[in-house]
């Protein structure tokens, strides 16, 4: 993966971050009935102590199994990722809580978000013309409705039009809806698998 100009994370820090996230999942599944978040001790790696916003996506046998995250970098990277790994496994309302037998075929993807870059709303066609497939994540917000797609969603929806329509649908807007009051922000991610 190419280095990110806004966030650096070397191979050792990446491995340590993945290890911490897996420890959280194993710890929660080892508890009898009272699955709760137990954070491991803080790492020593300075890179993991930086504030960062993350999303943690779980896949089971290649299918989405949970995805939870935040856009605000107000927690240290390792803790933010651990909390969202737990949330993805046990608190994503779209899925039942993770079970032990699923670990065998589970994969974890940690997306570290850049700062949100607000975009002027010049209309849907202008937005479509500026989107960079495979690079940009997108956040739409209007009157309490909010929808976000990570850049990895481009893998399933490679065309800007279908990407944006699906994002609007996710936020509860009709696919053909657009309004000048929609707030738009884009971002990039550094992905740790």
Please say if the pLDDT value at position 131 is more than 90.
yes
DSSP-assigned states of every residue in 35-79: ----PPPPPS-GGGGSB-EEEEEEEETTEEEEEEE-S---SBHHH
What distance in Å separates the CA atoms of residue 182 and residue 161, rounded to the nearest whole number?
A: 17
pLDDT, average across residues 110-129: 96
Supply the DSSP symbol for 76. B
pLDDT tens by residue, 3-43: 455 678 999 999 999 999 999 999 999 987 678 899 999 99
pLDDT average, residue stretch 129-158: 96
- What is the model's pLDDT at position 5? 57
Looking at residue 84, what is its pLDDT? 98
Mapped onto helix, strand or coil, the DSSP state of residue 117 is strand
Closest to 69 (Cα-Cα) out of 182, 170, 148, 179:
148
Q: Token digits for 66?
A: 């949970």
DSSP H/E element including 164:
helix 160-171
The fraction of the chain above a pLDDT of 70, given in percent, is: 96
Looking at the chain, the whole-number percentage of residues with pLDDT higher than 90 is: 91
Burial tier of 139 (Cβ tally within 10 Å: 0-12, 13-18, 19+): buried
Query: What does the pLDDT read at residue 117?
Result: 96
Give the model's pLDDT for residue 3. Answer: 42
Tens of pLDDT, residue by residue over 74-108, are: 999 999 999 999 999 999 999 999 999 999 999 99
Alpha carbons 126 and 184: distance in angstroms, whole number? 12
pLDDT at 1: 38
Task: Give this prediction's pTM.
Answer: 0.92
């Amino acid at each position: 993966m190419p280095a990110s100009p806004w966030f650096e994370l070397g191979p050792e820090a990446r491995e340590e971050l993945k290890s911490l996230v897996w420890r959280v999942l194993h710890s929660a599944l080892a508890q009898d009935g009272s699955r709760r978040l137990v954070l491991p001790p803080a790492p020593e790696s300075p890179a993991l102590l930086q504030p960062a916003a993350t999303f943690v996506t779980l896949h089971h046998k290649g299918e989405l199994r949970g995805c939870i995250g935040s856009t605000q970098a107000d927690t240290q990277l390792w803790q933010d990722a651990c909390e969202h790994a737990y949330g993805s496994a046990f608190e994503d309302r779209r899925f039942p809580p993770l079970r032990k037998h699923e670990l065998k075929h589970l994969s974890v993807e940690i997306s570290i978000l850049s700062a949100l870059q607000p975009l002027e709303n010049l209309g849907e066609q202008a937005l479509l013309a500026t989107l960079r497939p495979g690079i940009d994540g997108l956040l739409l917000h209007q009157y309490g409705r909010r929808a976000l797609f990570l850049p990895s969603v481009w893998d399933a929806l490679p065309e800007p039009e279908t990407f944006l329509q699906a994002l609007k649908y996710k936020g509860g807007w009709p696919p053909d809806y657009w309004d000048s009051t929609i707030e738009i922000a884009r971002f990039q991610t550094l992905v740790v698998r």
